[in-house]
């Protein structure tokens, strides 16, 4: 990567006069395969310890598309640079949004919920990565911090009896503050509180999270589903502590199932923020937007199942992403089935052409009548019991 040619095409100079200036620049990330080479691979799934700067790699490589372990979303970056006094206030070399207040980043996720199918079509999901801070101990506690107090003006007597003020040197005041683990702060905004949210992180034991959560004085809102999956009881804000002293990042899958009663046309949003218990700063955040649409309208859009299965093929069973993607793909397949399609007919492909999804169970009516009258899209695979419908209809011609 350090040997890449100078990218003069994408360099933009933003002129200014010293006052606040706002400019925008957009870049398109091309993840397509190289022309004429369907097997074009460029980077490894994991960093190559023998060659961290990249190329040529000595480990197996994959296409950029296979390295994006989610559907395509938007990323918004902000660079804030302004003069400070007579000299500029530069952004430090190799700075990131986690280390510099001059940089900001927002990730936007858009996944649509269906209606009226339930619960699979009401379930939306996204993969994520967090990088916890490293602190000496897992247990929260007080930590000494130094603060510089402003210089104090001390009055003194002169020989003529007048008072004069001496500016004493600034004093360093040592205080204590609470230090704890990093936390995921989920602001549920307008998401219905009777929704069900789960988070799966195969590298973290749920018991570790619950032990840290118990240290906070608040009602119990987290509960264990299995060894690596927890359920959140929704409130205005949910705090999920992250165990510390771990190298690298932690990968996970977040799933949200909206309740019965939602209607097409509604839009729900929630945000997830990683907050550092060491630096007391936000390290990263993303927002998930959930438009609600009719089931039949969403079926053609689930072409992503074909693409995700193509990406899944490149994930080795030894990878931490393997178990995440098994669950991820299962949920997307359940959505396809709930929308009236057959997920078993969808094959892996990089462009989504691995299988044509069948039309909705209820085709558009030839005459003006409620098309859903006899179209009961019931997910029998997810039902515990079977039922019978005893229906009597009486028809009468108009005007009779």
* Omega before residue 119 within 30° of 0, cis: yes
Q: What's the confidence (pLDDT) of residue 216?
A: 80
CA distance 165 to 225: 67
Amino acid 353: pLDDT: 81
Let me know if residue 175 belongs to a domain.
Answer: no
> What's the longest Cα–Cα distance across the chain?
117
In this structure, what token pair is assigned to residue 301? Answer: 């859009």
DSSP 8-state class, residue 277: T
**Shared-domain flag, residues 106 and 252:** yes
One domain, residues 315 and 244: no
State the pTM of this model: 0.71
Separation CA 5–CA 27 (nearest Å)? 18
Q: 217 with 349, same domain?
A: no
**Same domain for 245 and 121?**
yes
In a domain, 282, yes or no: yes
Number of domains in the chain: 2
Predicted pLDDT at 194: 96
* Domain presence at residue 380: no
Q: What is the DSSP string of 305-357?
A: HHHHHHHHTTS-TTSHHHHHHHHHHHHHHHHHHHTT--GGGPPP-TTS-S-PP
Residue 281 lies in a domain: yes
245: left (phi over 0), alpha (psi -120 to 50) or beta: left
Per-residue pLDDT of the chain (400 residues; tens, 9 = 90+): 566 677 777 677 777 666 776 777 666 665 555 544 556 777 787 766 666 666 677 777 887 778 888 886 666 677 776 655 445 567 777 777 767 777 777 778 889 999 888 899 999 999 999 888 776 544 444 444 444 445 444 444 444 444 444 555 555 555 555 577 899 999 999 999 999 999 999 999 999 999 999 988 778 899 999 999 999 999 999 999 998 777 778 999 999 999 999 999 999 999 999 998 877 888 888 899 999 999 988 988 888 899 899 999 989 999 999 999 999 999 999 999 999 889 999 999 888 887 655 555 555 555 544 444 455 555 555 555 555 667 777 767 666 5
205 lies in a domain?
A: yes
Task: Please report, for the domain that includes residue 113, its CATH number.
Answer: 2.60.40
Whose CA is closest to 187, among 270, 102, 90? Answer: 270
Q: How far apart are CA 183 and CA 276, in angstroms?
A: 7
Do the Cβ atoms of 218 and 210 come closer than 8 Å? no
For the record, the structure tokens of 22 come out as: 């706002």
Residues 301 and 285 in one domain: no
The domain of 318 spans 297-322+340-360
| Tokens 């069948």 -> residue | 358
Same domain, 268 and 209: yes
Q: Which residues pair with 269 in a beta bridge?
A: 289
Burial 210-244 (b: 16+ CB within 10 A, else e): eebbeeeeeeebbeeeeebbbebebeeebbbbbbb
How far is Cα 329 from Cα 396, in angstroms, rounded to an integer? 48
The pLDDT value recorded for residue 141 is 46
């Amino acid at each position: 990567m350090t040997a890449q040619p100078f990218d003069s095409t994408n360099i933009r100079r933003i002129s200014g006069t010293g006052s606040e200036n706002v400019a925008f620049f957009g870049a398109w990330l091309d993840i397509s395969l190289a022309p004429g080479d369907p097997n074009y691979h460029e980077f490894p799934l994991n960093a190559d310890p023998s060659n961290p700067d990249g190329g040529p790699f000595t480990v197996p490589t994959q296409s950029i598309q296979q390295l994006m372990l989610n559907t395509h979303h938007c990323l918004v970056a902000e660079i804030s640079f302004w003069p400070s006094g007579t000299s500029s206030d530069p952004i430090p070399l190799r700075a990131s949004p986690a280390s510099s207040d001059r940089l900001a980043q927002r990730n936007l996720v858009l996944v649509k919920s269906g209606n009226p199918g339930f619960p699979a079509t009401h379930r939306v999901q996204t993969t994520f990565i967090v990088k916890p801070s490293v602190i000496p101990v897992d247990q929260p506690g007080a930590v000494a911090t130094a603060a510089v107090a402003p210089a104090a003006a001390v009055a003194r007597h002169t020989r003529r009896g007048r008072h004069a003020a001496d500016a004493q040197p600034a004093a360093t005041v040592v205080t204590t503050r609470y230090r704890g683990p990093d936390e995921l702060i989920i602001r549920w905004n307008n998401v219905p509180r009777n929704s069900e949210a789960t988070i799966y992180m195969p590298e973290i034991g749920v018991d570790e999270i619950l032990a840290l959560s118990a240290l906070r004085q608040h009602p119990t809102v987290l509960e264990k589903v299995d060894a690596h999956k927890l359920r959140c009881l929704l409130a205005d804000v949910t705090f999920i502590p992250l165990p510390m002293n771990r190298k690298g990042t932690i990968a996970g899958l977040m799933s949200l199932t909206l309740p019965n009663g939602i209607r097409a046309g509604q839009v729900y949003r929630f945000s997830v923020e990683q907050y550092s218990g060491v630096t007391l700063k936000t390290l990263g955040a993303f927002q998930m937007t959930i438009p609600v649409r009719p089931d039949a309208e969403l079926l053609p859009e689930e072409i992503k199942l074909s693409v995700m299965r193509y990406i899944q093929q490149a994930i080795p069973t030894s990878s931490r992403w393997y178990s995440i993607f098994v669950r991820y793909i299962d949920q997307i397949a359940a959505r396809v089935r709930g929308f009236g399609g057959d997920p078993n007919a969808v094959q892996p492909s990089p462009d989504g052409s691995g299988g044509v999804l069948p039309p909705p169970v209820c085709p558009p009516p030839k005459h003006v009548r409620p098309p859903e009258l006899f179209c009961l899209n019931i997910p029998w695979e997810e039902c515990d019991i079977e039922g019978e419908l005893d229906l009597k209809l009486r028809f009468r011609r108009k005007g009779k």
